Structure 1
Amino acid sequence: MATKAKSGNAIVETIKTIVYALLIAGVFRTLFFQPFWIPSGSMKETLLIGDFLFVNKMAYGYSYASCPTVSIPVVGLNVDAEDVCGFLDGDNTRLFGGDPERGDVVVFRHPVSGRDYIKRLVGLPGDRVQVKDGILYLNGKMVPQTPAGNFDEVMGRQGPQGLTPRCGNGPVGEGGTCTKTRAVETFDNGNEHVVLNIGSQASDHTPVYLVPEGHYFFMGDNRDNSADSRLPQAAGGVGFVPYENLIGRADRIMFSSAGRSMLYFWTWRSDRFFKGVN
């Protein structure tokens, strides 16, 4: 009888330990840092497919979007942030709120789909944003770009989704060199970052967007390969993003893998480990 009691107590203690660990992890993920894998090439070269980083949730304070979304289709688990913290939605405010700065790389919740996106903050509330001939204009003034050579990568499937890059040097065969032109863009607050260009397309020529109060305008650094605020939400873009939809700021890459799986250690990019995000 004593053996059975001890065995039963051991099982209970194990379950309690797991529950406590999950609660602690949930609190940590909700209040401090959220892990994020880069799934696409919209932020090249700043962020590459397979980069892994932690999002600083303390940077802008907390809203309903700060609650984690947990989706594990294999076991039928799908808990959305709104399911847990939806009672905080609707007022476009934040607890302990902080203001993001132009040039921040931000993870935010898509206003319609609820999916997490990562882009660079370009337009603040009240700004007039326009792209003309591939050059960004803010409040009627051109944002300076300095040519910085080319960004080269090998043509091939990238990441778990097996995505292939778009190239500015025409059709490129498997294993060939895929090239995009590269420039350093500088905002008026001194933020410098690299942007890439593939070629002229519709998103390089936009109307003037007036960013509403309490909203932000985002663009990808890989300008010709990014569904962002230049496209309205109805057309599959991001549109204007409410303040309450910001999740946090990306500050540092912790790990990076160029392979289909992080277990392929020979594809790890050790030069990107602990690299700051600019």
Structure 2
Amino acid sequence: MSESNGFLGGIVETIKTVVWALLIAGVFRTIFFQPFWIPSGSMKDTLLIGDFLFVNKMAYGYSYASCPSIPFLGIGADDFCGFLEGDNERLFGSDPERGDVAVFRHPVTGVDFIKRVIGLPGDRIQMVDGLLYINDEPVEVEQVEDFVEPWTRQGPQGIPPRCSNGAVGEGAACVKERFIETLPNGRAHSILNITDSSGDNTGVFTVPEGHFFFMGDNRDNSTDSRVPQAARGVGFVPREDLVGRADRIMFSSAGRSMFAFWTWRSDRYFKAIE
């Protein structure tokens, strides 16, 4: 065989290897995992604007909301599993645990949200003076050091952070009170407090069968299950609208663009989500 044929053969083999690698990566992306960028500050300080993670679709099984999709061909999850929509069941399904951080499809708008599972089917959920009650019992909270971040517009949308220390200037310290909240199953996580808000005092929410109650960790800056869907909130989330569980941050950037390498947060790479 001539050198030219050997060279061309090597190029062909390289192309085949790359194609197979892309196909395998595509299968992983569409069937097992879904990439997700954190667009807002509703889950601070657990998740920050600009965190990038993969959602584990296998954690809760598959529904019309989490089935494989092929975005570059315009094929969505509904095209594969639309027949499942409306029955509130899942293939190979299991329910989330209290305290899981999960992505779900908004029951009305279809937009993907990421929040923490607080209420399970049958639970009674209420907020009283900013304290969470589950089944008429207050959860354990412990105040720890404040969460402090520089005041600057964050992410591609240029979202300004809210601060408990009032209006501050560009680059000044933006402070939020931080607590460790421990749920009845022993799962502990950080929550933030900014100010007194309407979400600090609510009625009792009784979670229906087959539904879940979600809240953001940044309690005063989160649109979640405390606001009903009729009032443009989230309300109760049906089982079928779960996409998957968020387990680990893979990459993080504090800038307006991921290409601004000087804003990368290397201390958050591969960080477990608690």
**Same structural fold, with TM-score higher than 0.5 when normalized by the shorter chain:** yes
Map Cα deviations across residues 95-138 of structure 1 (whole Å, 9 max, x no partner).
Answer: 11112100000011110111111000000000000001111000
What amino acid is the match of 2:195?
A: G
Matches within 5 A, 1:79-94: 79-94=75-90
- Is 2:161 the partner of 1:136? no
Map Cα deviations across residues 63-104 of structure 1 (whole Å, 9 max, x no partner).
Answer: 1111356768xxxx8654324421121111111111210000
Map Cα deviations across residues 110-168 of structure 1 (whole Å, 9 max, x no partner).
Answer: 10111111000000000000001111000000011100121111111101111000111
What amino acid is the match of 1:41?
A: G
What amino acid is the match of 1:63?
A: S
Say if 1:242 and 1:45 are closer, same or farther in 2 by CA, change over 3 A. same
- The partner residue of 1:159 within 155, 158, 161 is 155
Q: Provide the residue aligned with 2:184 in structure 1.
A: 188
Count of paired positions:
264
Q: State how far apart, in whole Å, the 1-side matches of 2:70 and 2:199 are.
A: 33
Secondary structure at the aligned position of 1:178 is classed as strand
Give me the TM-score of the superposition, normalised by structure 2.
0.90
Map Cα deviations across residues 155-210 of structure 1 (whole Å, 9 max, x no partner).
Answer: 11101111000111111111111111000000111100000000101111111000
- The partner residue of 1:262 within 258, 261, 268 is 258
Q: Provide the residue aligned with 2:197 in structure 1.
A: 201
Map Cα deviations across residues 30-79 of structure 1 (whole Å, 9 max, x no partner).
Answer: 3211111001000000000000011111111111111356768xxxx865
Secondary structure at the aligned position of 1:122 is classed as strand
- Is 2:230 the partner of 1:234? yes
What amino acid is the match of 1:237?
A: G
Is the 8 Å Cα contact of residues 30 and 70 (structure 2) preserved in structure 1?
no
Say if 1:27 and 1:220 are closer, same or farther in 2 by CA, change over 3 A. same
Secondary structure at the aligned position of 1:64 is classed as coil
Secondary structure at the aligned position of 1:271 is classed as helix
Q: State how far apart, in whole Å, the 2-side matches of 1:28 and 1:88 are.
A: 22
Secondary structure at the aligned position of 2:52 is classed as strand
- Is 2:145 the partner of 1:149? yes
Say if 1:268 and 1:222 are closer, same or farther in 2 by CA, change over 3 A. same
Which structure 2 residue ranges, 5 or more long, are not aligned? Answer: 1-10
Q: Provide the residue aligned with 2:28 in structure 1.
A: 28
What amino acid is the match of 1:55?
A: V
Secondary structure at the aligned position of 1:151 is classed as strand
Is the 8 Å Cα contact of residues 102 and 244 (structure 2) preserved in structure 1?
yes
Matches within 5 A, 1:1-278: 24-67=24-67, 79-278=75-274
Which structure 1 residue ranges, 5 or more long, are not aligned? Answer: 1-9
Secondary structure at the aligned position of 1:65 is classed as coil
Q: State how far apart, in whole Å, the 2-side matches of 1:192 and 1:87 are.
A: 38
Q: State how far apart, in whole Å, the 2-side matches of 1:87 and 1:170 are.
A: 50
Q: State how far apart, in whole Å, the 2-side matches of 1:267 and 1:84 are.
A: 38
Secondary structure at the aligned position of 2:174 is classed as strand
Give me the TM-score of the superposition, normalised by structure 1.
0.88
